[in-house]
Amino acid sequence: MKSATERRRTTFLRGHRAEWIALLFLVCKGYRPLARRYSAAGGEIDLIVARGGTIAFIEVKARGLMDDALIAITATKRRRFSRAARAWLSRNAWATSKTWRADAVFLANGRWPRHLVAAFELEID
């Protein structure tokens, strides 16, 4: 049986791997990476990417089953994510003229990544 430390490390490494897969997937779709693992204001954004006039703040969720990944973004997570997005926007004035949205990339064993555009509303105001 794994210790709590081993489980945390395994979860951390799985998350790191999932973020790299999601980033490669998005780059293949024409997105340009702006930031990875951005943390501020008590929240974290896994990836921040741009394509055209849009800035997409990306939440990456990896689970054993796609359905589990789809329901993994809670209201608390959305609030923290939005706080971090506001902080990033306040530090990147050039992005204020762009369109912003909160996307998600879901990964599950044996499945292609699923990119959900505008997965949830950003609480920016």
Write out the DSSP string of 35-73. EEEEEETTEEEEEEEEETTEEEEEEEEEESSHHHHHT--
**34-45 burial string, b = 16+ CB within 10 Å, else e?**
beeebeeeebeb
Residue among 92, 97, 114 nearest 105 (CA): 114
Average pLDDT, whole number, for the chain? Answer: 91
Given a cut of 90, is residue 115 above it in pLDDT?
yes
Write out pLDDT tens, residues 22-66.
999 999 999 999 999 999 989 999 999 999 999 999 999 988 766
Task: pLDDT band for 84, please (50, 70, 90 cuts).
Answer: very high
CA dist., res. 78 & res. 55, Å (int): 17
Tell me what pLDDT residue 69 has: 67
Does the domain at 4-120 match CATH 3.10.580.10? Answer given as no
What are the residue ranges spanned by the domains of the chain? 4-120
